Amino acid sequence: MDIGTFFAPNVSLIVAFLAGLFSFLSPCVFPLIPSYLSYVSGMSVDELTASKTTRLKLTAIKHSLMFILGFTLVFVLLGVFSSAVGSLLHSIWLMRVSGIFIILMGFFILGAFNKIKFLSFLSSDANFNLKNRPAGLIGSVLVGIVFAAAWTPCIGPILASILFIASTMHNASEGGVLLFVYAMGLAVPFLAASFSLNIFLSTSKKLRPFIKIISVIGGIILIIAGILIFFNYLAVISLYFGNTFRYNIPYNG
């Protein structure tokens, strides 16, 4: 394989990863991260912040990884399903409908539809029943699966947009990869928080005043992505980057 092509940036994957980050930083997820970590690890927030022993830190990290595995499985399966359905209906009209939907979701995040009551569920908080948590690492995987479903209304506009992008992919495996990258956008900061909750709490205090601005940036990115998809420019840009990297990175293989 041409090394330039291999390392060429895929715009869809970049958008998916950024979408995962913006989902993590959404007002209905970001403030609850300490509670997620506490619930998944089985330790209180005070224990997580005070813990200096390697054993307790490893426990929190292991359970966080299993939790991430749980919600990643759900998102990947959704991506595979969306791409499979999209491949059956593949047409320029599907691409245009997807682009329009993503543009509308971008405007929703910007607050354009706040007065439409029946859409309010898309910005609802993610509330969970924190009783009777299944024990062990497998329990953390199951919690991740359940939380993925519970997160869906909260991160709905962003997740739905990525699923619509997946529906325009050529095959199911590409959709699965796209949603895997989206899940990693959520997973990386969550895992970082499990390494040091103290640093996360300190950083979150500094970030909290900018959460609204971050949401606006996310909405703008979705609108741009929707426009590119509507006119089929997302694939054109990815192809351009692929050609640029292929011709500018030397390959001696």
Taking the C-alpha atoms of residue 208 and residue 215, their distance in angstroms, rounded to an integer, is 11
Taking the CA atoms of residue 24, residue 25, residue 31 and residue 35 in that order, the dihedral angle to the nearest 10 degrees is 20
Q: How far is CA 186 from the centre of its chain?
A: 5
State how far the Cα of 15 lies from the Cα of 185, in Å rounded to an integer.
10
Domain ranges of the chain: 11-248
Q: How many CA atoms lie within 13 A of 117 on its CB side?
A: 0
pLDDT of residue 123: 54
109: tokens are 């995040």
Structure confidence at residue 116 (pLDDT)? 61
Question: What's the pLDDT score for residue 115?
Answer: 63
pTM over 0.85: no
Low-confidence ranges of the chain (pLDDT < 70): 1-9, 51-54, 90-91, 113-135, 151-154, 234-253
Considering only CA atoms, give the Rg of the chain: 19
* pLDDT tens, residue by residue, 146-178: 877 776 666 778 888 888 888 888 788 888 999
> Helix, strand or coil for residue 164?
helix
pLDDT of residue 112: 76
* Whole-number pLDDT of residue 59: 82
Token pair of 127, please?
């509330």
